[in-house]
């Protein structure tokens, strides 16, 4: 029977409208209550004027960042954070992941900057006023320049110095932070900075890479212990983990050697760091961007490729292959650690906003399948809230749900941000979104 309108009369027209809007609201892929929906950023990529960090110094040299870009004022999030969090709130985000810039807090060894400390108090308060859960990263690729001068992660006191900073963060910000990420993508950093030598300090040395990877594992364990030692007594639940880049690997060749290569790649990239830091994770943070096919080049040479060289899959503007089912593989693999899982990053660089919407819906749908197969996924943070400084790629790649004009600082909320807002607001993917956003 058609429902009656407020005035008591039922007309065919308003019945159709009612039915349509009811249908539009149906949540086809619903997530558990309390699921976190947000976006992620990192300090150096958005704040601007981050003059005491090693990246800032490095950018000033020639031929470091593409097109001679320098982070400069970046998106000026340091002064516009309120405006940016207003946008996130308007977009129905109930959580936000961000990083704190160590080089602002401790611009000189052992000297704490009280203004910078107060600044982050303001940042966290603004997020809490907007009812957003906070996930805080303590190290996201940038070091204070003084620490880099002493050898960075090779400095004999590196773990101790990092731990001292962690301790300060626990004391100052323990009351706001819901999830602590000690280190962002340890192995991406090691690969870029010590393996292929693209990021500062630009070493191309496997031994150093190995040493630094081990140091980062120890630094994580030390920070994990410090956060618990300091915050458990407050009675708040303390959740500590890392954000780890996980890849979905595959190979089309079925020879034993290929299979072994696949296992080695999978173990080294996806599992080794977790094995090294066993018992120091309250949750697993997953940054998912890559599906890599291992292909044979010549007789012995195996190569991992993330671009779709055959052209049969869509790619981002950075030519990274888009493969949403890989997220499902990664999540199933991580189930063995028996911990809550958060997607701490997932996103793409593109100037094609319709593609970003499709990317989001496709990945969220895969995440849904994982959740409903029993994987304990508790939240999703899209990379990124804002366009930002993409490390050695500079400002060209556009990762933002919200576009930023680097000339005027103007923010533009993309349609994809609204699609994602629809998912966040309904805690799942509605029929309406599915009907208007094709899966890729
Ligand atoms: C990093 C971000 C980076 C993003 C896109 C992740 O590896 O954590 O800092 O901007 O991927 O490349």
Q: What is the DSSP string of 23-67?
A: HHH-EEEEPPTT-EEEEE--HHHHS---TTBHHHHHHTSTTSSGG
Q: Is the CB of 142 under 6 A from ligand 1?
A: no
Q: What is the pLDDT along the chain (440 residues), one digit of tens a residue?
A: 333 333 333 334 443 334 445 455 799 999 999 999 999 999 999 999 999 999 999 999 999 999 999 999 999 999 999 999 999 999 999 999 999 999 999 999 999 999 999 999 999 999 999 999 999 999 999 999 999 999 999 999 999 999 999 999 999 999 999 999 999 999 999 999 999 999 999 999 999 999 999 999 999 999 999 999 999 999 999 999 999 999 999 877 677 877 888 899 999 999 999 999 999 999 999 999 999 888 777 665 566 666 666 667 899 999 999 999 999 999 999 999 999 999 999 999 999 999 999 999 999 999 999 999 999 999 999 999 999 999 999 999 999 999 999 999 999 999 999 999 999 999 999 999 999 999 99
Q: Please, are residues 200 and 147 in contact by the beta-carbon 8 Å criterion?
A: no
Q: Is the CB of 432 under 6 A from ligand 1?
A: no
Q: Is the CB of 46 under 6 A from ligand 1?
A: no
In angstroms, what CA-CA distances link 125 with 133, 177, 226, 315, 351? 11, 10, 23, 39, 33
CA of residue 413 to ligand 1 center, whole Å: 21
Q: Which two tokens stand for residue 120?
A: 């982050």
Q: Is the CB of 227 under 6 A from ligand 1?
A: no
Question: Which ligand 1 atom minimizes the distance to the CA of 388?
Answer: 10
CA of residue 162 to ligand 1 center, whole Å: 21
Q: Is the CB of 387 under 6 A from ligand 1?
A: no
> For the chain, what's the residue count?
440
CA of residue 381 to ligand 1 center, whole Å: 12
Atom 3 of ligand 1, nearest CA residue: 390
**CA 106, 107, 110, 111 torsion-angle sign:** negative
Question: Which ligand 1 atom minimizes the distance to the CA of 185?
Answer: 8
0.75 exceeded by pTM? yes
Question: Which ligand 1 atom minimizes the distance to the CA of 42?
Answer: 9
Q: Is the CB of 99 under 6 A from ligand 1?
A: no
Burial of 335 (0-12, 13-18, 19+ CB in 10 A): middle
Atom 12 of ligand 1, nearest CA residue: 390
Mutate to test the pocket of ligand 1, among 55, 322, 344, 390 (most ligand atoms within 8 A of CB): 390
């Amino acid at each position: 029977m058609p429902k009656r309108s407020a005035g008591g009369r039922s007309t065919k027209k308003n019945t159709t409208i009612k039915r349509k809007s009811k249908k539009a609201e149906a949540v086809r892929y619903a997530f558990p209550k309390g699921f976190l929906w947000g976006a992620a950023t990192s300090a150096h990529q958005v704040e601007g004027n981050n003059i005491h960090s090693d990246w800032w110094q490095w950018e000033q040299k020639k031929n470091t960042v593409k097109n001679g870009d320098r982070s400069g004022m970046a998106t000026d999030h340091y002064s516009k954070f309120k405006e940016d969090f207003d946008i996130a709130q308007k977009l129905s985000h109930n959580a936000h992941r961000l990083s704190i810039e160590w080089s602002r807090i401790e611009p000189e060894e052992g000297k704490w900057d009280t203004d910078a400390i107060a600044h982050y108090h303001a940042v966290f308060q603004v997020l809490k006023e907007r009812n957003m859960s906070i996930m805080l990263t303590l190290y996201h690729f940038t070091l204070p320049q003084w620490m880099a001068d002493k050898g960075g992660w090779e400095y004999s006191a590196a773990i101790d110095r990092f731990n001292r900073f962690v301790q300060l963060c626990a004391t100052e910000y323990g009351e706001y932070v819901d999830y602590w990420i000690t280190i962002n993508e340890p192995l991406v950093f090691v690969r870029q900075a010590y393996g292929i030598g693209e990021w500062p300090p630009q070493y191309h040395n496997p031994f150093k890479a190995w040493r630094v990877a081990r140091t980062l594992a120890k630094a994580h364990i030390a920070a994990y212990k410090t956060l618990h030692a300091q915050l458990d007594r407050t009675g708040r639940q303390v959740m500590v983990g890392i954000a780890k880049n996980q890849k979905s690997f595959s190979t089309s060749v079925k020879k034993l050697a290929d299979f072994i290569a696949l296992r080695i790649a999978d173990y080294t990239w996806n599992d080794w760091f977790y094995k090294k830091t066993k018992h120091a994770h309250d949750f697993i943070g997953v940054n998912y961007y890559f599906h890599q096919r291992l292909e044979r080049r010549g007789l012995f040479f195996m190569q991992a490729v993330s671009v779709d060289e055959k052209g049969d899959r869509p790619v981002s503007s950075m030519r990274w292959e888009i493969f949403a089912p890989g997220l499902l593989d990664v999540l199933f693999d991580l189930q063995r650690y028996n911990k809550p899982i958060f997607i701490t990053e997932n996103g793409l660089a593109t100037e094609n906003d319709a593609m970003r919407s499709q990317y989001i819906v496709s990945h969220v749908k895969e995440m849904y399948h994982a959740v409903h197969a029993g994987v304990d996924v508790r939240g999703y943070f899209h990379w990124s809230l804002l366009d930002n400084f993409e490390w050695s790629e500079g400002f060209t790649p556009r990762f933002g749900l919200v576009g930023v004009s680097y000339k005027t600082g103007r923010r533009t909320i993309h349609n994809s941000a609204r699609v994602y807002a629809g998912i966040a607001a309904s805690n799942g993917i509605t029929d309406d979104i599915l009907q208007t956003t094709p899966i890729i």
